[in-house]
Structure 1
Amino acid sequence: MSVTDSISGPTLNQVLANSAQAKTTDNSLAAASKAVSGSGSALGKDAFLQLLVTQLKNQNPLDPQDNTAFVAQLAQFSSLEGITTLNDSVNAISGNFQSSQALQASSLVGRSVIVQTGEAYVDPSSDKPFNGTVVVADADSRPVISITNADGEVVRTLELGTQKAGSVDFTWDGKDDDGLLLDKGNYSFTASSKTDTGTTALTTYLPATVNSVTLSKTGGEIMLNLAGLGSIGISKVQTIGL
């Protein structure tokens, strides 16, 4: 009586073929990975898809790619492509923003602006009077503005009388207390208010001319280069005039 083994297994040729197929798969994936890494750049969507296709073409017929893993890789590819598209959109928006900044900056050159500062360049010989603003904090206060030249000497004192709380405009004709016309240059303006309880320092807003504009390469704030005053951020500008 003879006994026959009914359980069939892979033949030697099949085992060798599967081994060769697995070796070919490993070599193909290694070659694809080397091609991607040899480019010296980050893994992009084209390289990702190349690796995925190579993996599918050289998968083991007896142990094919799992459907769950395949769907997960496709989801990763979709996420990668979405991030790439988003990055391109952000770069486009950034470029448009920088162009808008350059256009805005070019329109400011030569204009007069009102900024929060205690110093201003004044040309008393000019036909235009020098106008400024002082912010009064308390009602029924008496603001006083002391004007000092570059040598630290007080050349003029302006008494604005009793004022209500808020912004109060003042005008200086470029003359000292004796009525003499002063030279052009930088002058400091110190404002304070006198009340029944004491003296309080006040904030002044003074005019200046924009000579040039500095744009930030990183998308930061525009810096205005003012005549005789240096640079100041555009966020500190209260009013833009002619």
Structure 2
Amino acid sequence: MTTSVNNNAAANGAAGNENIAANGGMSKLFTTLLVAQIKNQDPLSPQDPSQFVSQLTQLSQVESMQQLASQGQTNASMLASLQLMTLGAQVGSTLQATVSSLNLSRDPVQLRFSLDSNSPANTLVLTGGDGREQRIDLGALGKGEQGYTLDPARLGLADGRYSVRLEAGDKRAVNVETVARLDGVRLAADGGVMLQLAGVGEITSQAITQFKGRAAS
């Protein structure tokens, strides 16, 4: 994993250097054309020198913007690589994250709900790939973080991916979170960091709400 990260960072750094080199080549080409333009202008009707200054200023601004954009891409790549290595060191740890779907098998899944006030009636809704809903009555939930163990075997749920949401009786929006083991980390094609959670599947790093450490051996 570390080798892949280093290769990605090096590749992006090289790309940034190539962009800067290309900008330098454009500057040399512009200078050559400008000198040729000055040499070949009509001596009886020379071009206004301020136009040359304006052209040089515009070129300088374009080059500066291109270099800033290239540097920004390089910095973003380095940041993603650093995040990948940092999270990679946490593989095997338990974390809590916001989820909208779960990969269910026979193993129970720990869910969490955070409520800002008491909610008298609540239903956990699971929707399978075939569109069928499984509605689980959770009853009343108090203020604060509440937990629920989802046991697919006891509920007779087939293995597969299910979307998950909590319907509160007062129609408030409540995030569903899970407590799961971090099994892997990878760098996506768009530069984002993706995490593989046991019983959940892949989530983005932005979905993490807590790190809970490693289980005692």
TM tier, smaller = 0.5 to 0.7
Distance 1:237 1:91, change over 3 A: same
- Structure 2's unaligned 5+ residue stretches are 1-22
State the Cα RMSD in Å: 4.4
Task: Say if 2:100 is the partner of 1:100.
Answer: no
Distance 1:173 1:228 in 2: 11
Greater gyration radius: 1
> CA deviation digits over 1:97-156, x for unaligned, max 9?
1111111022223143412235266886xxxx96431244763514465899xxx9x8xx
- One of 48, 58, 70 as aligned partner of 2:30: 48
Q: 2:186 is aligned with what amino acid?
A: V
User: Which residue identity lines up with residue 98 of structure 1 in the other structure?
Assistant: S
Map 1:35-184 onto structure 2 (within 5 A): 44-61=26-43, 63-66=44-47, 69-109=48-88, 110=91, 111=93, 112-119=95-102, 131-136=110-115, 139-143=118-122, 159=138, 161-164=140-143, 167-172=144-149
Q: Could you tell me how far apart the structure 2 residues matched to 1:202 and 1:78 are? A: 54
- Letter paired with 1:206: T
Q: Secondary structure at the match of 1:207?
A: strand
Contact 1:146 1:191 in 2 (8 A): yes
More helix by share: 2
Conservation of the 8 A alpha-carbon contact between 2:104 and 2:152: no
TM-score by structure 2 length?
A: 0.59
Deviation at 1:212, TM superposition (A): 2.2
Alpha-carbon distance, 1:161 to partner: 4.4
Structure 1 residue runs of 5 or longer lacking an equivalent are 1-40, 178-184
Q: Which residue of 1 aligns with 2:184?
A: 211
More strand by share: 2
Task: Say if 1:137 and 1:104 are closer, same or farther in 2 by CA, change over 3 A.
Answer: same
Instruction: Give the drift of 1:80.
Output: 0.5
Shift of 1:194: 5.4
Q: C-alpha displacement at 1:201, in angstroms?
A: 8.7
CA distance in 1: counterparts of 2:102 and 2:40, whole angstroms? 76
Alpha-carbon offset, residue 213 of structure 1: 1.9
- Contact map agreement 2:97 2:210 (CA 8 A) in 1: yes
Q: Check whether the contact 1:119–1:206 (CA below 8 A) recurs between aligned residues.
A: no
TM-aligned CA distance change 1:226 to 1:214, over 3 Å: farther
**Deviations, residues 165-198 of structure 1 (Å, cap 9, x unaligned):** xx43215396977xxxxxxx87966644458xxx
Question: Residues of 1 paired with 2:65 and 2:172: CA distance?
Answer: 53
Structure 2: which amino acid aligns with 1:230?
A: G
TM-score between the two structures when normalised by the length of structure 1: 0.54
Amino acid at match of 2:194: M
Contact (CA 8 Å) 2:98, 2:175: kept in 1 or not?
no
* TM-aligned CA deviation for residue 205 of structure 1: 0.9
In structure 1, what is the Cα distance between the partners aligned to 2:160 and 2:212? 20
Q: Tell me the CA shift for residue 203 of structure 1.
A: 4.0
CA separation in 2, counterparts of 1:158 and 1:98?
45
Distance 1:48 1:216 in 2: 36
Paired amino acid for 2:210: T
